[in-house]
């Protein structure tokens, strides 16, 4: 993201005191803010791997507005909101009045009139969450649950929490992201988060057709060869390859992708001995990763799901606090 865009994104996400009031993107947010999210998420995790319930959003309403299907993300947001004692409404967009011609703006204004406090928005258009936050409902906390090819900030932050809890400080880490980087909102959000949190080196690995065109601007090391890219890495994150692209000219097929870029225990031998294996899910076994590795001791894939609830709890609570602080400042004499 260009500096002016990053500054714009930062200004939109923060309240007048500099605290989070929307969570739209990892871009443009400071290390302090990202670390505060991780610390808050940590506070919800108990020592036994469970998650504490805290009634921080009692009496508040969280609306999940998913214009794209996503069972895992929507479910974890719902669980997170309920653990904070919020009322949760899942709006089935495919059956909503937008399909009858009502505009997105009108629909959101109507939902706002129903006294919603937080919108969790997932949309196929890049920039949709920013549009909602800046043009439609600036007084409602907006959480981006994935927009187009642009950003998936809570997925990035749950991955950052996973890395921090299992690998420690970011400053000595080399992290590799493997697969369809060009079309991945997860990859972009992770790259910006890793850079902000001070990772030593970020690598992206994949076929040329799936690598980002703007990798120089992203400041990452690019590898087309899996073995070279995995050498001495501390963390390997396999991305889901979207099947619709397998049928296009970008890739010859899933079996060929696996033969060149699938993560296996054998191929990971060039990485650090204690390399951590991650995947945002859902996994295509035998395409991005072998089953034995996905289910093995190095894999943190199920931990990621658990940490995702804690991160989403943190973001929901912090954004609501930021909105409340803004309102209090407006009415203060």
Contact status, residue 243 vs residue 251, Cβ threshold 8 Å: no
Per-residue buried b or exposed e for 217-239, using 16+ beta carbons within 10 Å of the residue's own CB: ebebebbeebeebbeebbbbbbb
Q: Is 198 annotated as a binding residue?
A: no
Q: Is 13 annotated as a binding residue?
A: no
Rounded Cα gap, residues 149 and 241, in angstroms: 13
Q: Is 185 annotated as a binding residue?
A: yes
Q: Phi, psi at residue 286, to the nearest 5°?
A: 80, 5
Rounded Cα gap, residues 83 and 77, in angstroms: 10
Q: Is 281 annotated as a binding residue?
A: yes
CA dihedral 75, 45, 58, 320 (to 10 degrees): -80
Rounded Cα gap, residues 288 and 290, in angstroms: 7
221, containing H or E segment: strand 221-223
Q: Is 166 annotated as a binding residue?
A: no
- Cα dist from 271 to 107, 235, 244, 274, whole Å: 50, 9, 30, 8
Q: Which two tokens stand for residue 305?
A: 């799901």
Q: Is 155 annotated as a binding residue?
A: yes
Q: Is 213 annotated as a binding residue?
A: no
Contact status, residue 278 vs residue 300, Cβ threshold 8 Å: yes
Annotated binding-site residue numbers? 72-73, 100, 122, 152, 155, 185, 240, 281-282
Numbered residues of the known binding site for carbamoyl phosphate: 72-73, 122, 152, 155, 281-282
Residues placed in the known binding site for L-aspartate: 100, 185, 240
């Amino acid at each position: 993201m260009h500096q002016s865009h990053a500054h714009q994104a930062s200004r939109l996400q923060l309240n007048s005191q500099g605290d989070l009031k929307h969570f739209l993107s990892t871009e443009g947010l400071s290390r302090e803010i990202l670390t505060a999210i991780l610390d808050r998420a940590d506070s919800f995790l108990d020592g036994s791997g469970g998650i504490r319930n805290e009634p921080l959003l009692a009496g508040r309403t969280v609306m999940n507005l998913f214009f794209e299907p996503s069972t895992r993300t929507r479910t974890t947001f719902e669980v997170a909101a309920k653990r904070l004692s919020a009322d949760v409404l899942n709006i089935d967009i495919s059956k909503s009045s937008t399909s009858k011609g009502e505009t997105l703006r009108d629909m959101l204004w109507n939902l706002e009139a129903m006294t919603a406090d937080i919108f969790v928005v997932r949309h196929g258009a890049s920039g949709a969450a920013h549009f909602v936050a800046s043009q439609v409902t600036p007084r409602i906390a907006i959480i981006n649950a994935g927009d187009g090819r642009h950003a998936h900030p809570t997925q990035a932050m749950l991955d950052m929490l996973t890395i921090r809890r299992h690998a420690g400080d970011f400053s000595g880490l080399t992290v590799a992201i493997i697969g369809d980087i060009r079309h991945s909102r997860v990859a972009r959000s992770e790259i910006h988060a890793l850079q902000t949190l001070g990772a030593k080196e970020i690598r992206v690995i994949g076929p040329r057709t799936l690598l980002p065109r703007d990798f120089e601007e992203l400041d990452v090391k690019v590898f087309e060869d899996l073995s070279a890219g995995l050498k001495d890495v501390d963390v390997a994150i396999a991305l889901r390859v979207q099947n619709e692209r397998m049928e296009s000219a970008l890739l010859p097929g899933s079996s060929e992708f696996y033969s060149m870029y699938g993560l296996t225990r054998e191929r990971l031998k060039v990485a650090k001995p204690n390399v951590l294996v991650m995947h945002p899910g859902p996994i295509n076994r035998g395409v991005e990763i072998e089953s034995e590795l996905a289910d093995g001791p190095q894999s943190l894939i199920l931990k990621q799901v658990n940490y995702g609830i804690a991160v989403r709890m943190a973001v929901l609570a912090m954004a609501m606090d930021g909105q409340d602080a803004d309102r209090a400042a407006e009415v203060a004499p």
